[in-house]
Amino acid sequence: MSVTGVETACSRPDKTGGSGAQSGVAGSSFGGVLGGHVAAQLGDRARRFTIVGSNGLGLVRQPTALRRLPEGASETEALDVARQNLAALMIADPSKIDEPAIYIQAENAPRGRVKSRRFSRADTIARALPLIKARIDGTWGSVIARALRAVQPGARSR
C-alpha cells in the first residue's frame, strides 16, 4: 500500500471498504514500526496487527556497524554484504542465514528511501502498541525476545 493509500485508509474509511470494514496490518522491520502507528490510527477498523522482527522498542544497544555496498560491486559481493548485514541486524546465528534471506536483503536494502536508524533506536512502537485496539501478534528472534521478557516478564513472542 502506498503512503497515500495508508492515509486514505486511516482518514477516509468510506473510500476503503466502508466505515465498518476491518483489515489486518502487518509489517517487518521498519515496516512494523510504521504498521503499528497505522494500526493505532485505524482504531476499531484494524482486526489484527502482526509485527515481525521490528525494533522501535526503546531497547538500549550499541550502534550496529553495517557494510556498505561498493559502487560497481559484483553480484557475489552484493550477496556477501547482504549476508554480513543480516548477521549484524537480524539473525544472531549465522548458520541460520539461508539463500532466500540473503536474496531478499540484497534486493530490498538498496530500495530503502527512509533513513530509519533513529526510529529503530527510539521507543516509537512501544508507545504505539497500547493504543492499538486490534489483536497484536509478533515474532522476534530469541535475543530480542529475551530482552522483551527482561522488561516485561511473561511477554510472549514466537
Summarize pLDDT for 14-24 with one digit per residue, the tens: 555 555 668 88
Asked whether residue 49 falls in the same domain as residue 2, the answer is: yes
How many other C-beta atoms lie within 10 A of the C-beta of residue 36? 26
Residue 156 has pLDDT above 70, yes or no: no
- What 8-state DSSP symbol labels residue 131? G
Asked whether residue 77 falls in the same domain as residue 104, the answer is: yes
Asked whether residue 8 falls in the same domain as residue 52, the answer is: yes
Q: Which amino acid is at 39?
A: A
Asked whether residue 26 falls in the same domain as residue 78, the answer is: no
**pTM > 0.95: yes or no:** no
Distance between CA atoms of residues 100 and 85, nearest Å: 14
Domain tally, the chain: 2
Distance of CA 58 to the CA centre of its chain: 14
Summarize pLDDT for 79-113 with one digit per residue, the tens: 999 999 999 888 888 999 999 999 999 998 887 76
Asked whether residue 111 falls in the same domain as residue 147, the answer is: no
With bands split at pLDDT 50, 70 and 90, how would you rate the model's confidence at 129? confident
Asked whether residue 51 falls in the same domain as residue 4, the answer is: yes
Question: CB of 42 within 8 A of CB of 16?
Answer: no
Range of the domain at 50: 1-58+122-158
Phi-psi map region of 49: left, alpha, beta (phi>0 left; psi -120 to 50 alpha):
beta
Asked whether residue 2 falls in the same domain as residue 30, the answer is: yes
Summarize pLDDT for 51-84 with one digit per residue, the tens: 887 878 777 767 778 898 889 999 999 999 999 9
Asked whether residue 111 falls in the same domain as residue 133, the answer is: no
